[in-house]
A and B are shown apart, each in its own frame.
Chain A
Amino acid sequence: KQEVTQIPAALSVPEGENLVLNCSFTDSAIYNLQWFRQDPGKGLTSLLLIQSSQREQTSGRLNASLDKSSGRSTLYIAASQPGDSATYLCAGSETSGSRLTFGEGTQLTVNP
């Protein structure tokens, strides 16, 4: 059974800082790894999806990496902005890909 852990639970940074969010998973036979953003009172929005055959994906100021051998994924946010304040969740899939297991998320606050 896949288990996903995110550390730290909360992070506060000044505007403009580059930052890294961490995600660990237990089953290296992962089908894919997804990063989501959740704003208060809202659902989750998919940010990046990394397939098991890939090592990273980029979208704008976001870059996500996947290292299956070490069971780790990172989400890099460049030049952070107050609008980036949200909870970021990662989710790893089981081998068939049909079911995702979520971490508990990192609550990010970017201070102006």
Chain B
Amino acid sequence: NAGVTQTPKFQVLKTGQSMTLQCAQDMNHNSMYWYRQDPGMGLRLIYYSASEGTTDKGEVPNGYNVSRLNKREFSLRLESAAPSQTSVYFCASFRDRASYNSPLHFGNGTRLTVT
């Protein structure tokens, strides 16, 4: 039972390069989320998808795009990376759309450095 799987685990980009962070869950969860974690800032929501086919902006969406490819997969794209996007990125999923009283499951993160 893999849970939430994120790839890659580590990435170094130069300013202006693009990349896609991949996330997949095998728990048949409806809702999926992308967070970034920075020292002194805690975890901040970038985008989320309450169900397959829908996506919504979170607290810090600028510079990012997302795709909910199917129920399992939710990807995060950086079109033109900036040093301010150096962070640890976490994908998470939630089981139930009707009631959000279920725990959030996290992947192990992608550590991204933009030089």
Contact = CB atoms under 8 A, between A and B. Distances in A.
Interface of A: 31-32, 34, 36, 41-46, 49, 51, 89, 91, 93, 96-100, 102-105
Given A32-B100, A49-B102, A93-B100, A44 B90 contact: yes
B43 A46 contact: no
Interface in B6-55: 31, 35, 40-45, 48, 50
A2 to B, nearest CB: 11
Given A41-B109, A44-B43, 5 more contacts: A45-B106, A46-B104, A51-B101, A91-B104, A104-B40
Contacts of A43: 4, 90, 92, 106-109
15 contacts: A31-B100, A34-B104, A36-B104, A36-B106, A43-B90, A43-B92, A43-B108, A44-B90, A46-B103, A49-B103, A89-B43, A97-B101, A102-B42, A102-B43, A104-B41
B101 A46 contact: no
B66 to A, nearest CB: 15
Nearest to A103: B42
Contact of A99 (B58, B99, B101, B109): B58
Interchain residue pairs A-B with the least CB separation, the first 3: A97-B100, A46-B103, A43-B106
Contacts of B72: none
A104 B42 contact: yes
A46 B105 contact: yes
Contacts of B44: 102
Interface centre among A34, A43, A91 (most CB of B within 10 A): A43
A103 B43 CA distance: 8
A103 B94 CA distance: 19
A96 B100 contact: yes
